[in-house]
Amino acid sequence: MKHILITGSTDGIGKLLALRLAKEGHFVAVHGRSEAKLNAVLTEIKEESGNENIMGFLADFSDLADVKKMASKVTEQMPKIDVLVNNAGLLKTHTDTAENGVDVRLVVNYLAPYQFTNAVLPLLKKADAPRIVNLSSAAQTSVSLEALQGRDNLGTNEAYAQSKLALTMWSFDLAQKEPNILVVAVNPGSLLNTKMANEAYGQHWSPAEKGVNILYDLAMTDRAKTKSYFDNDKGSYAQAHPDAYDAKKIEKLIELSSSIVLK
């Protein structure tokens, strides 16, 4: 039995992955930002899987103070984390700016997982073979350090693509700094049949299961390779954006990220 935490797991591929792992008998921690939805999903997973080892954590990832609180609760309530899946993500939203004045997509998709993961690293280090699966995207574009400080306004798709490249750059950096933790970034598939894709584009190309299957493989099997990027549109490991291999750009990004997040 592994201890697995999946962020953004009250719907979409996060929820489907949680259910699959629960059915296998693992200890699964689910995260959501709506208390009612989180409780409903916890009940549903327990009933469908017959597994009572399901735990819920509540946090709004657009608020880094909330992320910090959740990390503290996870540290108190989980003995270790074998697998962390940073799945929480945002594209279309009613408000473009987060609590700290930064574009909400940069916060939810990058700064929040960056802060949360660093806060729970001690729990990952308690596992025998810990791994982190970070959900990237085929959409990746150079990160504006000005935007990351709330000094530059970005369009929806631009902010999303920047957040996903930032996440990928950090994934590679973390893999290098923590050689005992397997860290892999993955594009689970473009336009999967999820709420996010349907709300943003009104269509989908592939079933959600395509994304669930690759997340499962990277979380649980030897298909995962550290400091790498898996592109599920191609069904193979691939090159990420060139900036993900630029040591100087990565160093500047991590330095700035570290100064922004709440210690």
* Per-residue pLDDT reduced to its tens digit, 34-90: 999 999 999 999 999 999 999 999 999 999 999 999 999 999 999 999 999 999 988
pLDDT of the residue at 145: 97
| 61 exposure class (CB count in 10 Å sphere: 0-12, 13-18, 19+) | buried
| 48 exposure class (CB count in 10 Å sphere: 0-12, 13-18, 19+) | exposed
Distance CA 153, CA 147 (A): 6
Distance CA 37, CA 32 (A): 7
pLDDT band at 194 (very low <50, low <70, confident <90, very high): low
pLDDT of the residue at 246: 98
Kindly give the interhelix angle for 156-177 and 112-124, rounded to the nearest 10 degrees: 20
What percent of the chain stands above pLDDT 70? 92
pLDDT of the residue at 91: 79
Task: Specify the pTM.
Answer: 0.94
pLDDT of the residue at 190: 63
As a whole number, mean pLDDT of residues 143-155 equals 94
Distance CA 52, CA 44 (A): 11
Under CATH, domain 3-260 is a member of which superfamily?
NAD(P)-binding Rossmann-like Domain (3.40.50.720)
Domain boundaries, the chain: 3-260
Whether residue 191 has pLDDT greater than 60:
no
The lowest-confidence range among 37-51, 140-154, 199-213, 221-235 is: 199-213
Closest C-alpha to 4, from 15, 22, 222, 13: 22
pLDDT of the residue at 197: 46
pLDDT of the residue at 92: 74
Burial 160-181 (b: 16+ CB within 10 A, else e): bbbbbbbbbbbbbbbbeebeeb
The string of pLDDT tens digits covering residues 81-95 is 999 999 998 877 778
